[in-house]
Amino acid sequence: MKNKLMLAVLPALIACTVSIVGWASTDPTENPKAGATLAAASQTDAVNTYVRAMRTDLSRGKVKIINDVMKLTADESATFWPIYQDYESELFDLGDKRVELIRRFAVEQNGGKLSKEEATSIADGYFQFEEQRLALVKKYYGIIAKDLSPVRAAQFTQVEHRVATVVDLMIAAKMPLIQLDSDATPRATERSN
């Protein structure tokens, strides 16, 4: 049953990941200079709309998984779901930072060079994202443990970890690896499948 639920969520996750990585890696030189700002703004609006739609689909899938795994009573649901909505709102804000990191990396990749400064900045941003994501789960583990029980909080944490792992794996599979050019300048290249 749980595997079927994950299979139901995977298409939304894959579509979201592909759209984020694909959007971020779009070659900015494809647009002529005249009107490029307007085109970029339209593209950003379309991507933001698409990401919001994918997040909605993902949220629905996660709600179903949580309901199936946790089997909350009516009283527990009344306490849990408002907490979860707050968590998800903060998680999506954090996800926006991740999208921006991916976009920055893709711009550098498409430019053919990844400077030491930008590599350091992106890596620092990645570490900060991971730290903030862990802190967020810990924060809501504490809230759920206090308001419901430590067992319910552990169930929440387990479901969130599994979903985050799948999302991380899909993003990692689409992200190019950084390679050194023959002149020893770091360059990102596509992963071979």
Q: What's the pLDDT score for residue 51?
A: 63
Q: Does residue 4 surpass a pLDDT of 70?
A: no
For the entire predicted model, the pTM comes to: 0.67
What are the pLDDT digits (tens) for 141-172? 999 999 999 999 999 999 999 988 988 888 88
Domain boundaries, the chain: 2-189
Q: Tell me the pLDDT band of 7, cut-offs 50, 70 and 90.
A: very low
Burial 54-83 (b: 16+ CB within 10 A, else e): bbebbbebbeebbeebbebeeebeebbeeb
At residue 119, the pLDDT reads 86
Q: What is the mean pLDDT of residues 87-112?
A: 86
d(CA 77, CA 83): 10
**Could you count the other beta carbons within 10 Å of the beta carbon of residue 101?**
19
DSSP state of 112: T
Q: Which residues contact 146 (CB under 8 A, 6 or more apart)?
A: none
| Average confidence (pLDDT) over 58-83 | 86
pLDDT at 140: 97
pLDDT > 90 in the chain, percent: 32
pLDDT in tens, 26-55: 443 443 333 443 344 455 566 666 666 666
